[in-house]
Structure 1
Amino acid sequence: MKMKPLRLIPVCLMLALLAGGCAGTKTVEKTQSLAATETVQKQEPLIYEGEVTGFSERAQSISIAIGKGEQAKVMMVKFDTTTTGLSQVAKGKAVSIAYEMRGNDAFATDVQLKLAKLPAGTTEIKTPELEKLITTQSPLFLVDSRPTARYGQSHLPGAHSIPVPLLEEKQAGVLPENRDIPLVFYCGGPT
């Protein structure tokens, strides 16, 4: 008996698929793998923001309090020789810690001080400019916003003690009526 050539085509296709697999599947797998890689690369950095509650060079760890009141929790972040910004870490400082997960541990990659943001319409002046204003006795209203006890220890000449809680409570009521002179605020740290 002779077999017709047309009947052999389905048999050959089946044998080819069994032997070599489907090429289309490999292309789909590669496309899915590339999409997954791109997703991993586009992830937002992991960041903790809060106050440093502990720092240990020996244990190579930073403890940071996140949140306020009853919602607050302390997180532990490890660091190594590749972590940048460690010179800024000190207990009580407000920081932003970028980190990455290595297994089950969070490792700090970068530490930045959290600085106060100036409100719109406010201009920052540097120390030399303020010194010049004070020494030339230029008209200004200088506000020391530190706690009263700190003001009592020492303050800039001509400064008025208006701690932040008092300013929040009384607002414009503690500021001068003359709105034509510059208001200059200073505190106990970098802003």
Structure 2
Amino acid sequence: MIHKNKTSLLLAALVAAAFSTAGVSEAGKPTVGGPCQKCHTAEAGAVRGNLGKVSPEFSTLQVKAGKIVWIVKYDDKTRVIDGDKTSGAESIKDLPKNKEILVSFSGDESKPLATEVAVKQPYKVPEEQKISNDEVVKLVSMGPKKGEYTLIDARPTGAFLGGHIPTAISLPFDSFEENCSIVLPQDKDRLLVFYCGGPT
């Protein structure tokens, strides 16, 4: 999906991200990992990261939070929230590996027991901020100067180097804060078109 957005909205997101820091528990154990670090901070009794292995045999799941892998027990009382659907612990084994999740737990960090597992939902872009593939093709055929746009490829650098839309500039999401002032145009009214590898 391809998105367009005015610079003011982009700057608001940048400011919000700039004030977020990676979460660390009181014991120094990371509680926020991976892409979650861009938007979330530490919360007591919670760990955010990517789902690793799930072991129904031992009723445990792994959460990758930075360089640390949390092993969290779950039981029959653990709820799984996936969008507007709530289910029991039996559905944990069906969650896709590496999916971004939030695990709320009781107990201390040495023996956490999951009370709730929430699955991150894809970001929903408002219809008025979307641009069709045909519109992008038209803009690209005019070029950035005549079309008055900047096309941003937000995928990782390796994906960009493997192939990208002509006229696109690489600005990976993970390095957005560090490089946005270099890559983004000075003209705040210029059309910005972002694209990535799919829903996140």
Name the TM-score, length of structure 1 as normaliser. Answer: 0.50
Question: Which structure 2 segments of 5+ residues have no match?
Answer: 1-43, 83-91, 140-146
What is the match of residue 133 of structure 2? Answer: 131
Question: Is the Cα–Cα contact under 8 Å of residues 97 and 108 in structure 1 kept in the other structure?
Answer: yes
Equivalent pairs, count:
136
Indicate whether 1:109 and 2:148 are aligned. Answer: no
Measured against aligned partners, the alpha-carbon deviations of 1:14-61 in whole angstroms (never above 9, x if no partner) come to xxxxxxxxxxxxxxxxxxxxxxxxxxxxxxx95332232322345442
Of 69, 74, 83, which aligns to 2:70? 74
- 2-side partners of 1:164 and 1:150: how far apart? 12
Q: CA offset at residue 143 of structure 1?
A: 0.9
**As a proportion of its length, which structure holds more helix?**
1
What is the match of residue 185 of structure 1? Answer: 194
Question: Is the Cα–Cα contact under 8 Å of residues 62 and 69 in structure 2 kept in the other structure?
Answer: no
Measured against aligned partners, the alpha-carbon deviations of 1:117-164 in whole angstroms (never above 9, x if no partner) come to xxxxxx945696342431442643221122221112343454221224
Of 76, 101, 104, which aligns to 1:98? 104
Higher RCO (CA-CA < 8 Å; seq separation 6+): 2
Q: Match of 2:153, as an amino acid?
A: D
Name the TM-score, length of structure 2 as normaliser. Answer: 0.49
What is the match of residue 53 of structure 1? Answer: 52
> Relative to 1, partners in 2 of residues 1:107 and 1:163: Cα closer, same or farther, differing over 3 Å?
closer
> Relative to 1, partners in 2 of residues 1:76 and 1:166: Cα closer, same or farther, differing over 3 Å?
closer
- 1-side partners of 2:47 and 2:102: how far apart? 6
What is the match of residue 65 of structure 1? Answer: 64
Indicate whether 1:151 and 2:167 are aligned. Answer: no
- 2-side partners of 1:145 and 1:155: how far apart? 11
Question: Which structure 1 segments of 5+ residues have no match?
Answer: 1-44, 117-122
Indicate whether 1:161 and 2:170 are aligned. Answer: yes
Aligned-residue CA RMSD (Å): 3.9
Measured against aligned partners, the alpha-carbon deviations of 1:162-183 in whole angstroms (never above 9, x if no partner) come to 2245543333122234432222
SS at match of 2:197: coil
